[in-house]
Structure 1
């Protein structure tokens, strides 16, 4: 019996390296390169692609940075216009002559305390300045702080005090607003006197060409009504003194109001006050107060007007035209009657009133 043979199907697919060489084209036509597998690129193409993508990323980042910088620049300008941006400015570049200060000349008794505070903890409240367009600055607020820095620089030589923190006020702001900024800051001070506030009102009136009374109204709008009244009284005294009062900050409130009452009752007496002050050319603050008190003692006493009565007397008189109603009060007599008094002859009406007054006087 014949044996069966085992038959196997074998696939003889050649490997890539065993594959027959591709048929070459005729001479003059190069053999085409094999197409690379899908999804794979050569090293050069990958490098070019990565470089392009990196360049696009950098451009996008730079555009975002420029946009952010522009936004920050606009915000910086906005805050600077509001005076909320501070900078360190040289104390030697700050001028103090644009606004006439409310501080009287002379040594500030509290300046040493301020200097000690600055040395210990620094300056917590920057000054306010306006650029003058020539590389310098005009002081708006902070005369005492600026003075303290200048003295500390001179006394210690420490260059930390050569520059002072300052908030920038936009250029071209109206003088009225600049004065208001200075006044509003000073109103919170306990040591500023009515004389200093009155002197500032006179300076502002001179700068703007308005009346001193109106200057007080504009500058001290936020002050209480009674306080504005005191400032107006002092302003009137200083105005009448014509610059002969050298130490207005030393005048107590009571003395200032007494001076106002005398001058308001008789403005001519202001000349007597000026003459008495001129007779003491070498006076200091204490001597000036003595002269002003002497003037008050010598001036005629101001008689206060008697307060008007608020009571009324009512009368009713029967007349052919009807009932006449008469109301008599302090300084006034009112007659109501259904009659046209304007139709009466003027001479007759005058005789009637003369008889009326004669009867009242008992003649």
Structure 2
């Protein structure tokens, strides 16, 4: 099992670094091609930051381990809300009155309900995958349209875009892209192999490993970013990132993974994990609609709920 643990750690590290390289290369290539920074931020950056999770899910499908692919996404969405919002709230209150995220939240709930419906209708195959990707295209189209309509007064957007570097040369952009495109599948392969080995050695179903170890691992960059922001008194940035990430996880990652092979949803996920994911998503509604902050008490509650969920999964899996 030691070798498998090393594979998991190496895979996670490679995914984080390679994902960062890919984002930097793709952002600067898009800007050099004349694509508006606003559009780049909503598309290239969003896809790039989700690339590690996407590669893990695709690698799992190709390796005939679809339960890990599904667990990665469903578990990540649950962890994003209960952990990525819960832990920073312990450090600093997360305000909800500075940005109106109600429509984005409704899109997240819509994406969750769409996936749950498709999960109960049968395995996620290419037709269902195309439905998920079509829903993503509609959401992106609306977001880009709204963003472009409110673009006035944003002269500094080029400098604010994550990963943008006006002085980056073509050779450096190409190097970042190549390293990212090579590193991501390698990291994903290490992570999936290591996670599968741990599951076999510990006698735990692969779905449980996907919902816990893989899901938490691929959510670590978002968690680290949110905790850093909370320490700087900017914990509110985590809320928009979590909602956007959850939408991409369901529609983009599972949509792409479903094109590479069928994704049969285990009965355990249908009876528990899908509803935990949806329930966690619904928990943040009162805060958004009443414009109330996530306090330390909220953080304790969210973190405790996640701990109870993981313990229940391990107990059931064992």
Rg larger for: 1
The bucket for the TM-score relative to the shorter chain is: under 0.3
Structure of higher RCO (CA pairs closer than 8 Å, 6+ residues apart) = 2
**Between Structure 1 and Structure 2, which shows a larger proportion of strand residues?**
1
**Between Structure 1 and Structure 2, which shows a larger proportion of helix residues?**
2
Q: Normalising by structure 2, what TM-score? A: 0.24
Q: Normalising by structure 1, what TM-score? A: 0.21
